[in-house]
Chain A
């Protein structure tokens, strides 16, 4: 029908501005980057080298160090943070708790800070003469100041704590919103059947929250794998120092790419190669996460589209 054709065309009109912007500012860079990854481009001196960069990457100790650091952060920070987020959400979902609005706002507030600002803050708090050391000494928890920013394990700890501080409230809001959509009747029915609050949480809340848990896990994974601003700003001396963080503990994959471009002899080709490695890892992990939750991308959206919560 002519009308259908007309509507179809209009559908495209709505999408066109976004497509144009996407084309220039995302699609073109992606493909050019792919091309770059097969070249050795030192500054403006470029040479096609085929898969040599990829082979180089597999023999690059620093790449593996960055990979290890990034994964360590992923496996430690993300689960703890999401667990905390869901716990807070569960608590604040309970109508009998008072001052819920205040707590919700307080926990969300860290998310409005810029990544630079809060990195600087935590660096100051945990410096050798900083507030944390002084407080711990005053409370007699430790006798001598701890070298938070000079010891690799402690420095990683500071980064993890900072990220948890910043992102827990943000994810909590997603869980809270989803929880508030679950009908009260479900809980009432369950408690009539004799189920305890905790039991209901695990048998009703969590399963219904699966799509949103998947969403936050995927977004957090992508965010942590691309982590740049915080390690960059927590490390002393940035790119002019010999190491990014004590024993290079803040050398994440994105920081490594930045170093390849701006600290070492700039090999933009190799930098592109490493960034494609990140992309492949992200894609793999995202795919696995979707599979584990038994959904594929479209199915996830369909789940979110389904009304109500009874299944």
Chain B
């Protein structure tokens, strides 16, 4: 194919500049030699501004997520893999099979091409491992000082199989609440790589695509009521959202919630509550009590659900509160966050 540019990008030393976003030869070269090279698939190779594909009849799902994380690279992942996993997860929390992704990049002038390539390679791997291709995208560059290095927005589409109706307002009193694994890993792994909170830990982000786990679960129990991944704001925030949507209350058992000792230690050091720390590879499942044991067993056969546990139940509550029996024997309310959770000294 004839190319409008010649030569190779100097990825090792080169920097993103304004011409990479202006639609001309430089942008074509960037797209070809970084994005197309690593995402490489048949639909992308058509070089259109959009990608056309057939879907089986069914309800379609679309979801979008913008990723602005800092630092860009953290133990267990980076902004690239996160942007793939995050959107796949949002799509499959409806029970849908994710089909394709789009990716829009906003880069700051001066952003090293070597880091861009590292991120794109990571995204491509995450996408291939998940079996969900990136088939279209966009590239923009903003002036230095107007962006945080790079922002990535991914949009995903999927199709929900017949008979599945998973939605946040379906939780009912008597339902069981299941978490797929330990909480707080992602948030604390990211914090550990922020400069002025530095602490050493082997904690890794749990960033992962959950669609294969979800598929196993819906095969065992098509009648799952709710699925959601507790990302920003943690388990507490997501449960409060669901309680509000479904007009119910929840009662949790603190002792049942899986959490790694290193997450406990890091939270204690900084005065953070692990219930509010972000997760990127976990899901909450709310189901009929009769289905709980079978679902739990199915989840535990999957690598991403090995430590799945029943952590509470849904109750009637006109105040829509999430409450928790503490491991100490008392009880407390697990409230919404006012804003971002901040470390405390007092």
Verify that A and B bind, or say they do not: no
